[in-house]
Chain A
Amino acid sequence: MLATVRDLVIYNPEFRIGAILVGLVAGMAALSLASPYAPLDTFVVAPDLPPSLAHPFGTTSRGQDVFWQLTFAIRNTLTFGIVVALLSRLLSLAIGLLAGYKGGWVDRVLMAINDTFIAIPLFPILVLFYFVLRDAMSWAALALIMALLGWAYDARLIRALALSLKTREFTYTGVFSGMTTRELLVREHLPYVMPIVFATTMNNMNWSIGLEVTLSVLGFTDINSPTVGGMIYWANQHTALVAGVWWWIAFPVILVVALFIGLFLLAVSMNEHIDPRSRLRRMGAEGGA
């Protein structure tokens, strides 16, 4: 694990840049713990001040400091992405490994459900959920809904791997030596698919954060708890761009774009690292230079 990270840092500039960007965003989120203002308080500073030494990212029309407000927003957005990714990884791993290994009717039933989730349009469903749940639509509820909708693609990917693992000699040996299905999947197959799960986790976080920002900007989420999309929503409500308060929109957008690019680069570099051919080519080229 440590050796993998070391190799990635040494040989993979994409990983370096991605790690720095994600590290910056995570550092920003950590700063929220040191914030002088409570996240939901308004009119604690003078409104509409441009960036200055006292307020590095300026202040909003609601009298909030953009920098400190953003630390809360990005913390919530990041946590949201991580929670969705973890929950949906559990689902896709369990379903993918089981469907691929068991085959037969188990596979057919699970994949029928899986393909349904791939086929249904997500965005209208999420909007529908908002209109049905209204005030009950909290941060946690949205995370749960997204996790339940976001496992299908990766379950198919993992199932494809499990299909090939099922016919390997070591699977037969495991069955023959008396391992239970659960032991076999957890001890023999899970370690094999983990690298791919890592790579897809980054993509899944991008996907869930992107949808969350979209919904928040449109006001289809709990707009009171600060998120990056929620900040943009409030800025739009106060016609920030028309009023010339550009920093209210610019800094949240820059931060979330940095997070997107960082996660994307991490996913790309891990994908490349998983494939031994591209990894060795890169390491060889680096060594020869």
Chain B
Amino acid sequence: MSATPAADGERKRATAGAPRAPVLSVDDLKAYYRTRHFGIEREVRAVDGVSFEVRDNEIYGLAGESSSGKSTLLKAIAAAMRPPLHVVGGTVRMRFLEGAKSLYAASSAELAQLRWRKLSYIMQGSMSALNPVRRVRRSFEDFAARHLGGTGAAFEAKVVAHLGLVRLDKGVLDAYPHELSGGMRQRVTIALATICRPDLVIADEPTTALDVVVQKDVLDMIRDVQRQVGSSLLLVTHDLGVHAYLTDRLAIMYGGRLVEEAPTETLFRSPLHPYAKHLIASLPRIGEAAPKVTLPGGPPNLAEPPPGCRFHPRCPLAMERCRRDTPTLTTVAPQHRVACFAVGGQA
């Protein structure tokens, strides 16, 4: 746990000093799936003009229903697109990328340098997150050794010290994944993702496969490790309870676009966007008797999205303008951005 106290202190001083560039800044990112079957081209605009920043030492949450484009956004941020997914516009900048250029301008050698060491990700807590026929020790060697450096005993000492952070003893190194409980497996994946003390960690539904008791345990662990390592965390899940518990700031995604972004508490207390309002209102509260109101319709088909605001067919506040123009995220209060004409958004 006290393997590198000096490095921790250095990080804290750095974060306490003058404001630095955000760890991650995404600007007008557009990522489309382009398919061609029998000469018919289809384009699914899964991520369509998304902009946000992740700052130092913060946990940034991204919420949205299925098919809202969350996973596509993550793939684009990790530069892990495979056909038919293409980034067609916008930039992704990371502070640790040389020359402040866009991620997509970086060579594959540069990407290989930064992945895991600077940018890493926490895998889903499913059975297949770790190779079932490799001992945990081998997984650390395969994934982290090249980035962490050190061989044999030196490497092992680093791994054991880091496992202490997630309260695992070195016995797990000799275990196969099926010999560990779901919570232990997820702690191993957290340790794997953070062992190089990366600047940015992406977590895609890290607790989805776990029951609520283990879930809370794992979430606490993620926060502890994040605070100690000093990484920024981009957390994606559809589970609003997880966001309320863990994140500092929260963005809501709908139909491939961000509709609202605010500090998590603000967003839960006073959501502005009609979709966010309904989403928050749908959460059960103790002592509440009134039945929940359901919005008619379903999420938009991103191959043929509605014109203008993508929420307008289901929106109770929809105006004529919403059918024509696309609202962009507009700052309506400090740190609070919303994309809706009815509540103060601009085109």
Contacts and interface: CB of A to CB of B under 8 A. Distances in A.
Interface residues of B, number: 25
Contacts of B112: 178
A197 to B, nearest CB: 13
A176 B119 CA distance: 10
A170 B115 contact: no
Contacts of B126: 169
B131 A188 contact: yes
Nearest to B141: A187
B80 A170 contact: no
Contacts of A191: 131, 133-134
A175 B123 CA distance: 13
Interface centre among A174, A178, A192 (most CB of B within 10 A): A178
B341 interface: no
B147 A177 contact: yes
B130 interface: yes
A173 B120 CA distance: 9
Interface string A162-173: 000000111011
A188 to B, nearest CB: 5
A172 B143 CA distance: 11
Interface in B240-275: none
B67 interface: no
Contacts of A172: 80, 123
Interface in B105-132: 112, 115-116, 120-121, 123-124, 126, 128-132
A169 B208 CA distance: 14
A164 B120 CA distance: 24
B221 interface: no
Given A169-B123, A170-B139, A191-B134, A176 B80 contact: yes
Given A176-B115, A177-B115, A169 B128 contact: yes
A177 B113 CA distance: 9
Interface string B80-96: 10000000000000000
B116 A179 contact: no
Main secondary structure of the interface of A (DSSP, over half): helix
Contact of A170 (B78, B120, B129, B144): B129
Contact of B115 (A168, A178, A188): A178
A191 to B, nearest CB: 5
Interface string B136-167: 00110011101100000000000000000000
Interface string A43-86: 00000000000000000000000000000000000000000000
A76 to B, nearest CB: 36
A85 to B, nearest CB: 22
A56 B123 CA distance: 66
A174 B123 contact: no
B116 A176 contact: yes
A138 to B, nearest CB: 39
Q: Which bracket fits the contact residues of A?
A: 10 to 19
Nearest to B80: A176
Interface in A246-272: none
A179 B142 contact: yes
A187 B116 contact: no
A125 to B, nearest CB: 37
Contacts of A174: 142-143
Given A169-B124, A169-B126, A170-B139, A177 B116 contact: yes
Nearest to A178: B112
A174 B132 CA distance: 14
B158 to A, nearest CB: 16
Given A169-B124, A169-B126, A170-B139, A177 B131 contact: no
A168 B128 contact: yes
Contact of A177 (B128, B134, B144): B144
A169 B129 CA distance: 5
A29 B144 CA distance: 48
Given A169-B128, A170-B130, A192-B131, A187 B123 contact: no
Given A169-B123, A170-B139, A176 B130 contact: no
Nearest to B144: A177
Interface centre among B123, B126, B133, B146 (most CB of A within 10 A): B133
Contacts of A183: 142
Given A178-B115, A192-B131, A173 B123 contact: yes
A205 B147 CA distance: 43
A173 B129 CA distance: 8
Given A177-B147, A179-B142, A188-B142, A170 B128 contact: yes
Nearest to B78: A176
Interface string B190-206: 00100000000000000
A95 to B, nearest CB: 21
Contacts of B124: 169
Nearest to A191: B133
Nearest to B177: A170
Contacts of A169: 123-124, 126, 128-130
A277 to B, nearest CB: 14
8 contacts: A170-B123, A170-B139, A175-B80, A176-B116, A177-B115, A177-B116, A179-B143, A192-B131
Given A176-B80, A192-B132, 17 more contacts: A168-B128, A169-B128, A170-B130, A170-B139, A172-B80, A173-B129, A174-B142, A176-B115, A176-B121, A177-B115, A177-B143, A178-B116, A178-B147, A179-B142, A188-B134, A188-B142, A192-B133
